A and B are shown apart, each in its own frame.
Chain A
Amino acid sequence: MSESSIGRVVEEVAREFGRERWRLMDIARGVQQRLGCVNSQAMDAIASWLNISRVEVEGFVTFYSFLSKEPKGRIVIRLCDDVIDQMAGYEEVRRGFEAALGISLGQTTPDGAFTLERTACIGMCDQGPAALVNDVVVTNLSSDKARNIVRSLRENPRPERLVQRFGSGNNAHPLVRSMVENNIRKAGPIVFSEQARGEAIRKAVAIRPAEVIRAIKTARLRGRGGAGFPAGMKWEFARAAEGSPKYVICNADEGEPGTFKDRVLLTEMPDRVFAGLTIAGYAIGASEGIVYLRAEYAYLRRYLEHILDRRRADGLLGQKICGKAGFNFDIRIQMGAGAYICGEETALINSCEGRRGEPRTRPPFPAQRGYLDCPTVVNNVETLACVTRIMEAGPATFCEHGTPQSSGTKLLSVSGDCSLPGVYEVPMGITLRDVLEMCGADEAAAVQVGGPSREMVGPAQYGRTIDYDDLATGGAVLVFGPDRSIPKIVSAFMDFFVHESCGECTPCRVGTRLIKEQIDRILAGRGEPKDIDELLQLGETIKQTSRCGLGQASPNPVLMTIKGFRHVYEELVSPDPHGYQRSFDLTESVREAERIAGRRSIHHREVRT
């Protein structure tokens, strides 16, 4: 394609979004869709359209997994490689795709029809192995299904045709038409209770914003993303902060491997989430709300837009909401482009502004200076659903569930070695044992609560509780049976952190890679006893010195499992009697030279005692 025609495509895409810098994400996504890449000429054209430097555009495009400088195939198959999908047969599926396509992972077919890639967790651990075929989710894959998918795409290159049977609930909605299953195993009294559309907002606007905040504080609602910051306090800071306009953002970028409850919530309870965002807007004095939707959930977008339209038609968004003079509020969806770090609220804000998803320096906090330097509140999807329920039923009803420090219920995304993976709404304070019993995980040898960022616990600790005082979690519960290798799981987790580090700070950028390599050496039988303590020291340094929560949490897989399961590491390591480094593999190191020389190395004759 010539430079001028690329320029035309960029302009066609960009015209829809205007020339504000914060539209860079939408423009880049649009160009990627049209051209299969954002190449050099396209970057130049975008830079001049937005009047920003080209290197900023390049920095942006290369930051996100779903954008690329190099041309991708017309159909991009993104195979989810998180640890649960690996347990479910990822390798076989990968080989199936590779054989059918005649390419390896990371490559594009010569005819430009297909690209096969790996991707981090796409939120389908309860129905893996799963993949994205462009925006279309395919689940429960096998090697055979992989071949069939390729065959039918070759016959008809429209990925939506791959969906033969729709999943449960709104997955069958005409605007979703997805094979994804909800797998709601336990609907609790808060998030999944009967909805009364509009009621929460009517009740909220009937009282003053300060009273809404007081109700949230009375309910002792804490952030459901996992960090547990009191929601009311966050709102109060933003309300009190100087500056306008103010913004509320719904963080729908759940990316912690093993987490998928927000996907189900957005599928089945979008009104409740949007109502919560609207109430948050009323409480802090915002007139605009943004839903930052992860790229992996793009298949829900049209449906969510439709729900927003319906809310506008019903007077639940727009001017004078529920007749309240002066309360004007609307919501727009901002798509992400594949970056786990954007679940961190300041990185998310940067992403919304069309920047690399690097966390910001704090202070200032978002409540003081967030999106476009204005006071901003970022809340998790589930937190907002709780807000709506608190307004509907009152704080007291909310507090009937859970514990004094952790009121309400918690959504859990359960996956792995259990018979009933899916979403569970449980009261805060529930024991892990009760959760495992519910999901049919009789043989659980280890459970990762909260995903890779959090804690792995063994059977002796199944009496611990899921709440902010003990096992704080964004909701991921990954169950591992007795046959699973813990260091292998840790290696997969570290792979994830290496892949998702933004690279801004040294300990996370370099340290995660060093940990990953050390773990892999231990797994290969090349570890020494001292390596375990060195891993602990390195992990501790990364945890203490990293710039943001991702970096600080990234060594947790190693730190937590050495703490709780040290013996599994000790079984893999041994000292070298001569003081040779076991990490050095002479046989491997001379392999290439042997091939070139066509003879074997003399060291094979060396007798090791």
Chain B
Amino acid sequence: MSEIVTFTIDGRRISAEAGQTILAAAQACGIYIPRLCHKDGLTPVGGCRVCTVRVNGRPASACTQPVAAGIVVDNDTEELRSWRRQIVEMLFVEGNHFCMFCEKSGNCELQALAYRFGITAPRYPYLWPKRDVDASHPDIILDRNRCIMCGRCERTSRDLDGKSVFGFVERGIHKTLAVNADARLADTDLDLTDQAVNACPVGAILKKRTAYRTPVGQRQFDREPIGTSVETRAKLTIDGGEPR
């Protein structure tokens, strides 16, 4: 049994296991901290910065920052909401996100965060980068226009599938998702059953012939904002009076 520490998030006292990240500890207590590049089960990298919180006043990514006894974490403040909105808007103008025909629409985490934040249009000018689509694989499509560089596919393939199908090339604004082959996804050992296929938060990696099966209105984020399940799970627990 590891050591239990207590600290506060937005004034609320919560307990966590030492070594847990702030994001995981908050989540266990029904507090949703928005995130994109982190997914439960993966090694966090703190890349997208959407989960930025203030820890004792200093900004830190909640997905990488471990809890410590007595820390004071700010999560849901106007300032942090503003930073997160801006980061999501940056991601929208950095890539080419055509939600109106994207197969992932309604189930896309980037879009869902924008909905949750009430973003109606990004404030920054669109960059319209030229990016390509790789449809070479018989079962999987890779559309780099939609890639947000979160690296979830890279880590999932490497750490969970044991394959290293994905990686990044170039740097800075030219950073690009690449595959473990000269050029084509078809020349990698990516398999439809790989977990990496389901790792993408947006519509950059999709299974072919599975699109648009769920009617509009019934998709994951049509009714409920992203994070609601985290928030209501805890609420149910509290209402039910079950000791956690």
Contacts and interface: CB of A to CB of B under 8 A. Distances in A.
Nearest to A69: B169
Interface in B177-206: 178-182
Interface string A509-530: 1111110010000000000000
B93 interface: yes
B47 A545 contact: no
Nearest to B150: A506
Interface in B31-86: 44-50, 52, 59, 61, 64, 66, 82-83, 86
A63 B170 contact: yes
A547 B124 contact: no
A505 B86 contact: no
A510 B91 contact: yes
Contacts, number: 120
B190 to A, nearest CB: 12
Contacts of A514: 90, 93, 124-125
B130 interface: no
Given A55-B180, A361-B44, A503-B149, A546 B170 contact: no
Contacts of B174: 503
Contact of B47 (A40, A62, A363, A506): A506
Nearest to A341: B171
Interface in A49-63: 53-56, 58-59, 62-63
B47 A504 contact: yes
B11 interface: no
| Most chain B C-beta atoms within 10 Å of own C-beta, residue among A58, A506, A507, A547 | A506
A182 interface: no
Interface stretch (A440-448, A472-480, A493-501): A493-501
Interface in B157-181: 164-175, 178-181
B127 interface: yes
- Is the contact region of chain A dominated by helix, strand, or loop, or is it mixed? helix
Contact of B169 (A44, A58, A505, A517): A58
A56 B182 contact: no
A361 B64 contact: yes
B4 interface: no
Contact of B172 (A501, A537, A547): A501
A544 B54 CA distance: 10
A44 B182 CA distance: 9
B172 A499 contact: yes
A513 B127 contact: yes
A306 to B, nearest CB: 34
Given A55-B166, A361-B64, A498-B173, A506 B52 contact: no
B180 to A, nearest CB: 4
A56 B173 contact: no
B103 interface: no
A596 B74 CA distance: 56
Contacts of B171: 62-63, 339, 356, 501-503
Contacts of A54: 180-181
Contacts of B133: none
Contacts of B109: none
A534 B179 CA distance: 38
Contact of A545 (B49, B125, B148, B149): B49
Contact of B170 (A44, A503, A513, A537): A503
Given A363-B66, A511-B90, A514-B124, A500 B172 contact: yes
A541 B83 contact: yes
A63 B170 CA distance: 5
| Smallest CB-CB A-B distances: 7 pairs | A503-B175, A55-B167, A53-B164, A501-B172, A510-B90, A55-B180, A62-B169
19 contacts: A55-B169, A56-B167, A58-B178, A59-B167, A59-B168, A63-B169, A356-B171, A503-B171, A504-B45, A505-B49, A509-B175, A512-B172, A512-B173, A514-B90, A517-B125, A544-B52, A545-B49, A547-B46, A547-B61
Given A506-B90, A507-B90, 4 more contacts: A59-B167, A59-B168, A506-B47, A541-B87
